Structure 1
Amino acid sequence: MFFAYLVYKKSWIGLIGLLLLLTNALILFDAGIRVEPYSIIYLNGVFLTICVVFFSWRYKKETSYYKSLLTLFNDLRDDWFESIPSPYSRFPDRILYTLLQTIYEYEQNKRREDHSSQQMDHNDLTSWVHEMKTPLTAMKIIIDAHHSNELAQRLNAPWLRMHLLIDRQLYISRLANLDSDLLPEKQKVENLIREEVRKLSTWCMEKNISIDLKGNIASTVYTDKKWCGFVIRQLLTNAIKYSPTDGNIFIHIGLHENESVILTIKDEGPGIQAHDLPRIFDKGFTGENGRVQHSATGMGLYLAKKISVKLHIRLEVASVASEGTSIQMIFSSDNPFERMRRSLL
């Protein structure tokens, strides 16, 4: 910074050098002034020493405020202006401080406006989703009331897909407040699975897909029923979507040596290409299979992963092209929910 400061003060340095040169020329060439050569050297030495000391002092004084700003901006936060020290001088520190204050106030006003706009959009979308659920519920009542009507029963599968999409949108709108919406309780894994399978049974019957549930069905976990059920629903939805007609979906509940419950969902679909595996949890990523299935949005696994992190559930995927996909939900026995439960016992 010192070199930059000297470059910034180059006009001052040039002026001082010019004045020193003129002084030396006057002493040497003016016949009325007689000075010994050693005295001229001494005079120049004193003059240059004073200049160096002066510039060092001014450098420290003029750059101290800027150094404090640079230190602050290396760790920039939302409340950065509150950490800015008061200006040391009226000029130019006060002007810079006023400029930063104006920028900060503009940024805060803009952020509040954007937040207000996003909140309005969020509320409108949430309201629309709730309004859509009312006619959907009415449609389901009508469909269920006409069991003998073949046309009405054929609407079951399209109705389920619409219901799943709208329900997923409702969960997306609640995602920002997920932490405050969690209600962890002791849950039986088998009950969580059976409830989600029952919701998707119409789709399974349409594709004639059988679901085989095995393993330690008495296993229990400490988690939030609603959000954990949503994660299972997303994994089952993917399994059903990519399973062939007359296919099978295998669900296994295992217990690891460290008492972690492992829920495995395996389908007989086309599998996931090796180059797609690292990106399947990215938002909006559909992969090669998703391009074949034009209904894929790339949101299901993204939401499942995001919610699983909040629930302290680890998701692991194994897949071989043309041999199906296996997804594991690993419920750790050493997560904050479980520790909280044990502390209350």
Structure 2
Amino acid sequence: MIKKYLIERRSWIILFFCLQLFMIFVTYIDSSIPLSSIMYIVFLSFMIFSIFLIIRYNKEIKFMKSLEERENNFDLANIAHAESPFERIIEKSMADQIEILKQTSSKNLIALEEEKDELLSWIHEVKTPLTAMQLVIDRVEDEQIKANLTYEWLRIHFLLDQQLHQKRIHFIENDLYIENIDLQEIIFQEIRSLQSWCIQKGIGFDVHLETTEVLTDTKWIAFIIRQLLTNAVKYSESSDIIVKSYEEAHQTILEVEDFGRGISPKDITRIFDKGFTSTTEHKDNRATGMGLYLANKAAKSLLIHITVKSELNKGSTFTLIFPKRNEFVRISSM
């Protein structure tokens, strides 16, 4: 900060030195002026100017230092009181800009809330005809047509569900209700919802649950499991999907293993990125690139760690590592 201050005041410092040199030069060309007296005056001037510079540094630097150290937020309380006219101009300008930003942010937040409410309302409205469509599909006698219609119905249903959770995930902290839940009930419920799709593709489920009780949120863990099972079914053909849970180091582990097309090694680190689909299957229009992104984001809020192992054309294994019970309780109580 001293260097910055000296650079800021360099014109004044240079002027002072030039004036002292000018006095010495005048003494040099005018022999009637005693050099020793001028040198004494120059020395005293240097001393006084140095003291003045130190005093002004300590006084002027407070405001600028508080600006440099302040956090990037709308709070001006930690900024030192502006003393000089220039500092007051800066302070007023910052206060005005922050007020404008606050008003703009408030308007944008209200608009975002209204947009979210409208979309959520629309999604719920669409679910009514979807339910009616399901009843109509159940009455179709041709099994092939019924299977095709059911598949398309499921796609619409899951896309709406994904969109619903995408809007809710920004406010997930307000939507969490942590309780003891039964993993088996949730897993079998999600498998039943995929039943017609699995029959069409010749896919079965092999479920082994050694540990079923976990401490988490019902809605969001169901959404995470739904994304993993949907992905497993989507990219598999005529094979089983293995779902198993067990306890390791006082943590519940849930694995979803499929034997589908797998994930390219260069894509592994990017599959949880927003909007990322694949670098190998460019013609695959079924993927939105949002399912795993949302699942991973929701998992972080639930302190669940998701890992993946995959080999191209051999399948993938997604693992959910639930937090230790005492760790969750400790963090939740903070």
2:68 to 63, 67, 70: 70
Once the two structures are aligned, what percentage of the paired residues are identical? 36
Instruction: Please list, as runs of the form range in 1=range in 2, the aligned pairs for 1:17-28 lying within 5 A after superposition.
Output: 17-24=17-24, 27=27
Partner of 1:141: 135
**Rounded Cα–Cα distance in structure 2 between residues aligned with 1:15 and 1:339:** 64
Determine if the alignment matches structure 1 residue 128 to structure 2 residue 112.
Answer: no
Are 2:36 and 1:38 equivalent residues in the alignment?
yes
How big is each residue's C-alpha offset from its partner over 1:244-270, in whole Å with a ceiling of 9 and x where there is no partner? 2x22212222233x3433222111111
> Structure 1 residues 332-341 or 192-201, which shifts more?
332-341
SS at match of 2:307: strand
SS in 2 for 1:317: strand
Q: Indicate the residue corresponding to 2:90 in structure 1.
A: 96
Question: Do residues 327 (structure 1) and 327 (structure 2) align?
Answer: no
SS in 2 for 1:157: helix
Q: Is the CA contact 1:189–1:220 (under 8 Å) kept in the aligned structure 2?
A: yes
Matching residue within 144, 158, 169 for 1:164: 158
Query: Residues 289, 139 of structure 1: CA spacing in aligned structure 2 closer, same or farther, 3 A cutoff?
Result: farther
What is the DSSP-based 3-state SS (H/G/I as helix, E as strand, rest coil) of the residue aligned with 1:66? helix
Q: Which residue of 2 aligns with 1:185?
A: 179
1:294 pairs with 2:289:
no
**For residues 291 and 200 of structure 2, what CA distance do their matches in structure 1 show?**
21
> Paired residue for 1:249, among 241, 246, 252?
241
Paired residue type of 1:185? E
Aligned to 1:119: 113
Q: 1:313-343: per-residue Cα shift (whole Å, max 9, x none)? A: 22221111121111122233435556799x9
Query: Displacement, 1:236?
Result: 0.4
RMSD: 2.6
Residue aligning to 1:313: 304
1:154-303 to structure 2, matched below 5 A, reads 154-216=148-210, 219-244=212-237, 246-256=238-248, 258-288=249-279, 291-303=282-294
Contact 1:81 1:104 in 2 (8 A): no
What does residue 49 of structure 1 align with?
Answer: 47
**CA gap 1:172/1:22 in 2 versus in 1, 3 angstroms:** closer
Q: Which runs of 5+ in 2 are unaligned?
A: none
Contact 1:315/1:327 (<8 A) preserved = yes
Normalising to structure 1: TM-score of the pair?
0.86
The amino acid that maps onto 1:127 is: S
Taking the aligned partners of 1:3 and 1:63, their CA distance within structure 2 comes to: 12
The one-character-per-residue Cα deviations of 1:295-326 (angstroms, maximum 9, x if unpaired) are 11111111111111222222221111121111
**Which TM-score applies when normalising by structure 2?**
0.89
Distance in 1 (alpha carbons) for counterparts of 2:213 and 2:24: 95
Aligned residues: 332
